[in-house]
Amino acid sequence: MKEADLILTGGVVLTMNEQYDLYDPGAVAIRDGTIVAVGPAEEVEQAWTARERVDCSGHAVLPGLINAHTHAPMTLVRGLADDLRLDVWLIGYMMPVEREFVRPDFCWLGTQLACAEMIRSGVTCFGDMYYYEEAVADAAAQVGMRAVCAQSILKFPTPDALSYDEGLRLAEDFIGRWKGHHLVIPAVGPHAAYTATAEMLRDCARLALSHDVPIHIHVAETAQEVQDHR
Ligand SMILES: [Zn+2]
């Protein structure tokens, strides 16, 4: 028998491989943090032994989910004026609240809460865009989640930058410190077309290209926005 560290067994295993193979009941053997066997439970259990064995009956076993768009620290303002149309909510309520309260510790704590919630629902990786993105990245890395973290850049003052030039500098500094991290990919976050100028968008694209990092931006959030940017 081969030796693994952990065997997850008895659940419905969704492999998400090219054939979408599904094993019910299935098992997954893990050694040194790497999956070493996946297959029908009986087959895996006959070939592998492990110090730890988790009975996953009644559960699905699948690759971690990815939340492609978050503002993780905003867990701390959840429920605040959340029944308004987007532009009224964002410009009229949320941005003034953020300018008042959003600091690095706010972002770090809010992200830790968000990570706890995401892990509970099976999310192991998230794409974020917010202010003080370094605090978001730091909280995610400490928790052990993967994240693509975009430093927001807007055409007006934000909680962490008085101007868009400053926002751009913050983004570049942030990228310099986090590029190559084993869990966090830094990114450039021009917030949206309606909070940017054409020049800003070009600068953001140049920055992303020069550092070979992703861009994260809001597009087509409302029917009005789709119409405005046609
Ligand atoms: Zn958003």
Which pLDDT tens digit goes with each residue over 6-34? 999 999 999 999 999 999 999 999 999 99
Give the C-alpha separation, 13 to 158, whole Å: 45
Average pLDDT (172-184) is 98
- Residue 182 Cα to ligand 1 middle (Å): 25
How high is the pLDDT of residue 230? 82
- The tokens describing 167, both together, are 């926002």
Give the C-alpha separation, 111 to 135, whole Å: 8
| Alpha helix positions (H), the chain | 41-47, 86-87, 95-101, 104-120, 133-143, 164-178, 198-211, 223-228
- Residue 216 Cα to ligand 1 middle (Å): 10
- Residue 129 Cα to ligand 1 middle (Å): 7
- Residue 178 Cα to ligand 1 middle (Å): 22
Task: Look at strands 22-31 and 34-40 and give their pairing.
Answer: antiparallel
- Residue 63 Cα to ligand 1 middle (Å): 24
Average pLDDT (204-221) is 97
- Residue 33 Cα to ligand 1 middle (Å): 33
| C-beta separation of 94 from 81 below 8 A | yes
How high is the pLDDT of residue 35? 96
Judged on CB neighbours under 10 Å (0-12, 13-18, 19+), 213 is buried
Helical axes 198-211 vs 164-178, angle rounded to 10°: 10
Tell me the percentage of the chain whose pLDDT exceeds 90: 95
How high is the pLDDT of residue 228? 87
Walk me through the domains of the chain, giving residue ranges and CATH numbers: 2-61 (2.30.40.10), 65-228 (3.20.20.140)
Tell me the percentage of the chain whose pLDDT exceeds 70: 100
**Model pLDDT for residues 69-128, shown as the tens digit of each residue:** 999 999 999 999 888 999 899 999 999 999 999 999 999 999 999 999 999 999 999 999
